């Protein structure tokens, strides 16, 4: 099976806060897999496919924020999200985290 991902993945565990903007429903999760284009969020209560979310990831004292869209969900396990319109300053944060991973 050919690799279809657009960007390399990193096994980087980050704390995540997800907020659905309309209802303001909030859930806490963690990443288990992340790239420049999206991530997988481990959570028992994934939000529905297609939902647009506000996402906040934390690594140490640094925070990455962006909008994200749920591209698939795995009931009672988690959801895959695609980052949407990531500002350049936020992408720089992700790139810095990935560079730290490459050093090991």
DSSP-assigned states of every residue in the chain: -----SS--B----EEEEE-TTT--EEEEEEEEE-SSEEEEE-SSPPPTT-EEEEEEEETTEEEEEEEEEEEEETTTEEEEEEES--HHHHHHHHHHHHHHHT-
Q: What per-residue confidence (pLDDT) applies to 1?
A: 46
pLDDT tens by residue, 47-91: 999 999 999 999 999 999 999 999 999 999 999 999 999 999 999
pLDDT tens by residue, 33-51: 999 999 999 999 899 999 9
Confidence band, pLDDT 50/70/90 cuts, at residue 9: confident
Both tokens assigned to 103: 């050093």
Residues 6+ apart with CB under 8 A from 65: 54, 55, 56, 57, 90
Q: 0.85 cut: is pTM over it?
A: yes
């Amino acid at each position: 099976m050919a690799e279809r991902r657009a960007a390399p993945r990193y096994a980087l565990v980050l704390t995540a806060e997800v907020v659905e903007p309309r209802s303001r429903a909030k859930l806490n999760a963690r990443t288990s897999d992340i790239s420049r284009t999206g991530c997988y969020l481990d959570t028992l209560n994934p939000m529905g496919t297609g939902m647009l979310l506000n996402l906040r990831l934390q690594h140490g004292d640094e925070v990455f924020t962006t909008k994200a869209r749920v591209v698939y969900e795995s009931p009672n396990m988690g959801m895959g999200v695609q980052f949407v319109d990531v500002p350049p300053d936020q992408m720089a944060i992700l790139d810095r985290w990935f560079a730290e991973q490459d050093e090991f």
